[in-house]
Amino acid sequence: MDGIVSVLVCPVHIQTNHSFLHSFYYNKIENRSAVTPFRRLAAMPPEGTISAHGIFEREVHQSAPRTSPEMISTTTFFWNLLHFSLRRTGRLSRWILQSRLVHLIGVVSLCSVAFLLWKTLLRQTSVPYPPSSLTQMQQLERAIDEHNAWEQRLKQALVPPVPPSGPIIPVLVIACNRPSVKRTVDALLKHRSNVLHLSPSHFPITVSQGCESQSTADVLAAYGDAISLIKFNYQSRGPPNKRTKLNSYQSMTQHYKFALDYMLFQKNNSALIVVEDDLDIAPDFFEYFAATLPLLYKDPTLFCVSAWNDNGRPNLINERRKDVIYRTDFFPGLGWMLLREFWLEIRARWPDIYWDEYLRKAYIRRDRACLRPEVGRTTTFGRDGTSLGQYFDKYLKTMRLNSEKFDFINADLTYLLEPEYTRRWKSMVYEKSVAVPLNDLLKDRLPDSDASIRVIYTKPEEFSTIARHLTLMPDLKSGVSRTAFRGVVPVFWKKRQLFIAPPTDWNGYVIS
């Protein structure tokens, strides 16, 4: 307890004289029994001046006799007092550090404080939300979960468009109100069963009907499991009781979008062959597409493969060269193959009408080309289609369909890849052919050699004139003539290869 008194002395402001301090110190050193026990500090002193704390002077007035200040100097007194206080304090500190009871009390105190803090934090964070806020949060969490689920499904569905092993190339038949679709489906099933090196399972057939025609629906239903069927319902924007030519074009365009979405997204196909319900099919139709599919994957300068030759009449083709395939800047359609990657690219701006003209736009083509055969692998028998017989009797009726198989799958088709193709093409057209005037061509005034010949045109109007003389289809779409590649239209004229070509300094198509 003496040590405690010594510690309490330090902060006390003492208002007394030197004799008073000396008397306390002297008796403290010489006679320890003169110090009053600590419990008597609470008693008020009978006399003397007490500081604000009052502790030190209470002890002094009750126990210390007065002594002369000359017995010890003030400096010595304070020095000895400090020494005594530090010594007592050290003893108390050692006792505290060595006491197990004090350690236990400290641990219990710390645990109690930590528990109280934890309870306080728990109380603050467990405040219940209002029912309305809880409902909104649940709805938000549910929406986020649904979004994440759809994102995962999309990632799993849209696998990278790599060439399938074996290849699996589904066939989509766009049908409307023609029961004669049976002719097309029968040809597909027949030739699918005789594909070289591949089985029918590599070419599953789906027919999408987009018109209300019970007779057509009955024809398709009769195939049973041999084909798959889907249905498109067109919502006309015009009067409900008027089916116009414009409505037919709109319906077909929207039908294409629906069917392509279904086949490339919902059915998860990375490539697709599209045919209309009025096409005849060549025996090597499937071999042709199976062999060219790797080129479509490999060469980014291609965007489609077509089985159709717009100038495929007997007097304009070399029927002996059924193996020949060309590049063309003109989208042919009528039996064509595309990749899902291309559909993803063009789908966002899909038009309401004239889907084929949309694919011929320069901003869609972007200097890319399609592949097409010298001898067609499809022809059309649909005189009364949406074109209402346009050009049919004059141009389409006599189109030649290849009748003998060619093994495209084992053929070397690397000559169709860029940049080698264009280099060879320019050499063949401008270096290895002989230029002749149109009049000499029409009058058979040609060189004696078997060399290719070339007729030059300098503007679109001149090309149309030449095309009419040679019975080619003269129209241009987005500045591109049918079957043209780099402005050059190749035909086989009177047993000679003919190129209808622009000058060597040609700068591109003129879009009118």
Q: Which residues are designated catalytic? A: 356
Q: Reading across the β-sheet that carries 228-231, which strands appear in turn?
A: 228-231, 205-209, 171-175, 271-276, 336-339, 302-306, 369-373, 325-328
Determine contact, residues 207/185, Cβ cutoff 8 Å: yes
Determine contact, residues 322/334, Cβ cutoff 8 Å: no
Question: Pick from 188, 205, 196: which is nearest to 377 by CA?
Answer: 188
Is 150 exposed, middle or buried (CB count within 10 Å of its CB: 0-12, 13-18, 19+)? exposed
Alpha-carbon 464 to chain mean position: 44
What are the residues whose beta carbons fall under 8 Å from the beta carbon of 142, sequence distance 6 or more? none
For residue 3, give both structure tokens: 């040590």
Which segments within 402-495 are labelled E, that is strand? 433-435, 452-456, 476-477, 480-481, 489-493
What are the residues whose beta carbons fall under 8 Å from the beta carbon of 113, sequence distance 6 or more? none
Determine contact, residues 409/196, Cβ cutoff 8 Å: yes
C-alpha pair distances (Å), 501 with each of 104, 307, 430, 456, 484: 104, 24, 9, 5, 9
The 10 Å Cβ neighbour count of residue 202 is 17
| Torsion sign, CA atoms 13, 17, 18, 23 | negative
